[in-house]
Each structure stands twice: as structure tokens, then as C-alpha cells.
Structure 1
Amino acid sequence: MIRFEDFMPVPDPGRTKVKLNIRAGSGGAAAWDLLLADDPDEWLNMTRHRELHQNNNMGSASYVLTFAQYYPYGPQYFIFGGFFRVQPVIPTLIGGSGYELEPLAQYSEYVKRLIIKLDRPVGRDLYLRWYDKIQASKLNPKVYELAPDTKLGTFPGYQNLRVKHESLQRIIANDEPSWKDALSSVKGVYVITDLSSGRLYVGSASGEANGLWQRWSSYANLRNLTGGNQELERLRAELGDAHIVENFQYSILEIFDPKTSRETILKRESFWKLALDSRNHGMNMN
């Protein structure tokens, strides 16, 4: 494997740190989940964090390379989260964030694609290291993988699912195993949100052999994008394919055993249309 410092040289090795994030505090969100979050501040806040009793100036570093533990592979794998210039806040602070992070273009094409592997798991004394010392340390990072596309993460669970259309297309196209297994195992009622307007469309996978996976595959089809729905087709004709790809988000309202009758699921779909008023103020026409 290629040595980390050979693959990612930096402009000022002696003033660059490498931050290997695992979790946001004791029992907090996993770093990889925060890197995946739609709000970039979720990830930046983790990278900014320092102990409250310390002078929070990133040890006078000028740059920081950030990584998140990539738990689908194991505790010694970390995925790249960006290269930042460290800009101290003046006057310095004790507690709170003592510096701002300016994203740099260098290595931006590797974000959520580059995975490094360490020789040993990260402990509390190892998660923040100077770049020019990390290669010779116990961690000894090496390049493990450079994925052809950004990683999407494993299936988050039915109750936590919130996926944008662009990501759904990639999930379906790549037959992402954890997503396919989960979505093929259930029927369900789902909601599509147009994030640009807040309008909702409630639909269901009630008769498909492969449940939600089969139904959502129709939305991910580049030649369709709407699953044949009348109002979505109108919106597509008016605003174009790009509007759907960039603004539509998919979530699950209710799941059912595959043996559940079509009539039962359609009744629940009707309930959710009433509950969310998606006929009068959304995109449902029936």
C-alpha cells in the first residue's frame, strides 16, 4: 500500500495536523454520520472541537487534514473529510471554538472517497497528530482505497432514512447491498419532499415483489425520474430533470411485512395523505 505522506503531501508539513475523528463526544454521533450530514457545519463543528479547559488554537497549526472513522470497514479505517486552513480567532478563547476552518481546494476531489488504514486503532492520545510525525508513529497510515465515487454509507435504518434523489440513483445503480437487502424486505408507505417548496407526495409500495427497492428503482430511472406520477410529470416538464435530481428527498413513513395485503397498505397510504394534507397542499392528485 502507498504511504499516506507520499500520496498527500502538504505545503507546510511542520505546521499541519491530521485529525482522526471517531465520535462527537461520549455516546455522540459517529464521525462518518456527521460527514454524511447535509449540513456541513455538523462536520466542521466536530473538527473544531477541543477540550474546554484548553486554549483552543489547534496547537498553532496552520492546516489540518480531517478524517472520519469509516466504521463499515472497521476501527482502523478512516475516510477523508477535507483539507482546511486553520484561522485562529483573536483574542483567543478558553472553551468554545478558538479557530475557524477555511476549506481548501487541494485534495477536495478525494473527500468521501479516499480511505486510509492505520496499523492500530486510534486512542484518545492519538486522534490529533502532527502531519510530519504521523507516518513514523504507531499509526503508520497507508492509502487503502480511492473509491471511484463518493461513499454513501450503509443503510441507516427505516426510521432514519432520508435520501436525496441523486444519492438514490447511485444506490440503485450500484446495487448497494445493505440498502437493497433492507428495502427489498419490506413493503411500505413513503413520502417524497420537494426541498425547494416543501410540497409532499405520499406513495406506497403495495404490490411490488421486491418492495420499496423495486418501487424506488422506478424513481431512480434516468429515463423516468417520477415513477409515472401525473403531478411529478407536470413538475418535471415545467422545471426539468435537474429540479427533481437536485431537490427531491425520499423517506419512509410506515413499513409492512411483505405478506401484508395490498388493500391494507393502500388504506394506510390514504391515511397519510390525509394526515399530511398532501392532496390539497402537496403533489398527490388522488
Structure 2
Amino acid sequence: MGGARYLLAFAQYYPYGPQYFMFGGAFEVAEIKPDRLDDHGYDLTPLPLHEEYIKRLIVKLERPIGRTPYLRHYVGLQESLTPEVYELAPDVKLGTFPGYQNVRLRHHELQRIIAGDEPSWKDALSSVKGVYVITDLSNGRLYVGSASGEANGLWQRWSGYAHLKNLTGGNRELELIREDLGDSHIVGNFQYSILEIFDPKTRADIILARESFWKNALDSRAHGMNWN
């Protein structure tokens, strides 16, 4: 540890990009004596210092130079790079799962839930298939979709939307919006809610029929983002 007495831990927060890091806590460093070649040379003891910021604070570093941005070692951080406080989340877990009828997630919240494997959300969304609606808050247009065949239900389907290298879940209608307006439009304006849930054993054709019903009820083909 280079003789350091304390360590601040940060982990790369891949949903945002290679230059973003999430705070993982403060630790006291104690060297282990005598040295052993087959073991680590120090112990870390968690400290209460700034523990309220664990998994809430995200810092941004200048974009690294080189072809392997995910594998690098920073030396003299305060001298060579300028950390920027990028985000301080109001709540690590965004609260426990509020019930299927109360889900209303902005894209950055969906990212955090999926990336963090938030237990109550993962358990709830993995336990059901369903019909959902995506709202473009910039114009009120709707996209109705369904999780009808995924093994892990809504969790698996929404995991696609949460990944910054996808964002559209493979939906061609949303992909055209992404190509036209860019990733930032989706991240900044899309909101995700659940319209109807089903037991995991429900046949796909039944769920698809309900998806079609909701497209008609919300008129998302003529005035929304659905094509069929």
C-alpha cells in the first residue's frame, strides 16, 4: 500500500462509462508482519468516515489515455487527474420495491437498480412476466412492450434497456429514435412503468394478446412509438 495509513476505495461504475467511479468506503491500513510471499501484506479495517456516501457518491475522472481504459493504475491521482463529483444519489437502494402498480423509474434509476442487483427489485421483477410502458417525457409519446418469454421476466427484459451500450432492448422503433436523437435523449427522457403482470407460467400468446390490448387502449401505434 506504499506506506499509506488510510485507503479510500472506488470501483469503476461501468453503466456510466470507464471514467466514472463509485465510492466504496474508507479503510484503515495495517501492515502484516512478518512478510509472507503467499499472502497479502496488509489488513483493511472499515471506518465510519463518510460511510453515508458509500454507493451513493460517483466521481468522474478525465478520460484516460490508452487502448485499455478498464485496466489501469493511477499513481499520484491528485497531481495527474482532477476528480469531479459527478453524482450523489439521494438513496442507495431507491427504496425497497414499491409494488408493481407503483413502479415509475427514470432511466438513471433503472440503471442503478439493474447494475446494483437491488435485491427487492430483482426478486419482484424476476418473479413475473408482464406488459410495460415506456414514456418519452419530452413529448408524452408511449411505447408498450412485454416480457413474455424471458426466463427472468421483467428483470431480464429491462436489463437490456438499462445497459448504455444497448438502451433500446433491441426494439427497432426505439433504435430509430436513438439514431435520430442520440443516447442522451433516451437516458434523459425515458420513464418505465408496469401495466400488467402475469405468473411466469403464463403462455406467451396470452401476454402478447394483452400487449396488443394496451397498444389499442393507449393508442400507442397511431400516436406513440409502436409500429405494430
Alignment TM-score, normalising by the size of structure 1: 0.49
Q: What's the CA shift for 1:143? A: 7.0
Q: Would you say 1:252 and 2:194 are equivalent positions?
A: yes
Q: Would you say 1:180 and 2:180 are equivalent positions?
A: no
Q: How does 1:4-83 map to 2 (within 5 A)?
A: none
Q: What's the CA shift for 1:282? A: 0.3
Q: What's the CA shift for 1:147? A: 2.3
Q: What's the CA shift for 1:146? A: 2.3
Q: Would you say 1:201 and 2:136 are equivalent positions?
A: no
The one-letter amino acid paired with 1:147 is I
Q: How does 1:51-200 map to 2 (within 5 A)?
A: 145-149=52-56, 150=89, 151=91, 152-200=94-142
Partners of 1:146 and 1:217 in 2: CA distance: 25
Partner of 2:170, secondary structure, is coil
Unaligned runs of 5+ in 2: 1-48, 57-88
Tell me the alpha carbon deviations over residues 44-79 of structure 1, each in whole angstroms, 9 at most, x when there is no partner: xxxxxxxxxxxxxxxxxxxxxxxxxxxxxxxxxxxx
What's 2:156 paired with? 214
Q: How does 1:220-231 map to 2 (within 5 A)?
A: 220-231=162-173
Q: Is the deviation greater in 243-252 or in 231-240?
A: 231-240
Tell me the alpha carbon deviations over residues 123-154 of structure 1, each in whole angstroms, 9 at most, x when there is no partner: xxxxxxxxxxxxxxxxxxx9763223222111
Which of 209, 212, 216 is the matching residue for 1:270?
212
What's 1:133 paired with? none
What's 1:283 paired with? 225
Partners of 2:115 and 2:124 in 1: CA distance: 16
The one-letter amino acid paired with 1:178 is S
Moved over 2 A (4+): 142-148
Partner of 1:193, secondary structure, is strand
Say whether the 8 Å CA contact 1:187–1:212 is kept in structure 2: yes
Tell me the alpha carbon deviations over residues 29-49 of structure 1, each in whole angstroms, 9 at most, x when there is no partner: xxxxxxxxxxxxxxxxxxxxx
The one-letter amino acid paired with 2:202 is T
Unaligned runs of 5+ in 1: 1-141
Tell me the alpha carbon deviations over residues 2-43 of structure 1, each in whole angstroms, 9 at most, x when there is no partner: xxxxxxxxxxxxxxxxxxxxxxxxxxxxxxxxxxxxxxxxxx
Partners of 2:145 and 2:139 in 1: CA distance: 18
Cα RMSD of the aligned pairs, angstroms, is: 1.3
Partners of 1:254 and 1:240 in 2: CA distance: 30
Q: CA 1:143 to 1:211, structure 2 compared with 1: closer, same or farther past 3 Å?
A: same
Tell me the alpha carbon deviations over residues 83-128 of structure 1, each in whole angstroms, 9 at most, x when there is no partner: xxxxxxxxxxxxxxxxxxxxxxxxxxxxxxxxxxxxxxxxxxxxxx
Partners of 2:186 and 2:53 in 1: CA distance: 29
Alignment TM-score, normalising by the size of structure 2: 0.62
Partner of 2:200, secondary structure, is coil
Tell me the alpha carbon deviations over residues 212-252 of structure 1, each in whole angstroms, 9 at most, x when there is no partner: 00000011111110011112111111111010001000000
Say whether the 8 Å CA contact 1:193–1:249 is kept in structure 2: yes
Q: What's the CA shift for 1:209? A: 0.3
Partner of 1:145, secondary structure, is helix
The one-letter amino acid paired with 2:167 is L
Say whether the 8 Å CA contact 1:203–1:269 is kept in structure 2: yes
Partners of 1:284 and 1:248 in 2: CA distance: 15
